[in-house]
Amino acid sequence: MLASAKAAVPTVGDAAASLSLSNAIKNLNAALAELRAAAAKVHEASSTSNDIDAALEQVWALEAELGDLKRELPSGRVAPLPGETADSSASQLGSTSKSVGSSMAQLLTAAAQV
């Protein structure tokens, strides 16, 4: 569309109309650039939204699993995996918590930019 409009400029005989058409083409070009930028931001926000949805589903699944473990705990059927200790589990929990905190910071930064 932009190329067709540019090609039409030399065929316009009236100088004022030709200038007006050139200005309209420049405005159209700028508007299209803004539209492309907005579409890119929407796409980025949509991708972030999908990541958030996936993370929420994973959290809900983990909450359900934790609830199951809490119900089984009094019966004594819950035992650590081979090689697991309280220290290794605490270390893994701390590492995972730091990772979640970092991911949340990135998420908030991305959300603020949209």
Query: Does residue 43 have a pLDDT over 70?
Result: yes
Query: Does residue 83 have a pLDDT over 70?
Result: yes
Burial of 69 from C-beta contacts in 10 A (0-12 / 13-18 / 19+) = exposed
Q: What is the mean pLDDT of residues 20-35?
A: 84
Among the residue ranges 29-33, 59-63, 95-99, 110-114, the one predicted with the least confidence is 110-114
Give residue limits of the domains in the chain. 86-114
Q: What is the DSSP string of 4-53?
A: HHHHHGGG---HHHHHHHHHHHHHHHHHHHHHHHHHHHHHHHHHHHHHHH
pLDDT over 90 percentage in the chain = 0
Return d(Cα 23, Cα 29) in angstroms, integer: 10
Query: Does residue 2 have a pLDDT over 70?
Result: no
Where does the pLDDT of residue 48 fall: very low under 50, low under 70, confident under 90, or very high at 90 and above? low
Q: Residue 49 corresponds to which amino acid?
A: S
Residues 6 or more apart whose Cβ sits within 8 Å of residue 110: 44, 48
- Could you give phi then psi for residue 78, rounded to 5 degrees? -95, 125
Query: Does residue 60 have a pLDDT over 70?
Result: yes
Number of residues assigned to the chain: 114
More confident residue, 46 or 64: 64
Q: What is the mean pLDDT of residues 8-17?
A: 77
Residue among 36, 8, 1 at smallest CA distance from 22:
8
pLDDT given at position 114: 63
Q: What is the mean pLDDT of residues 81-105?
A: 85
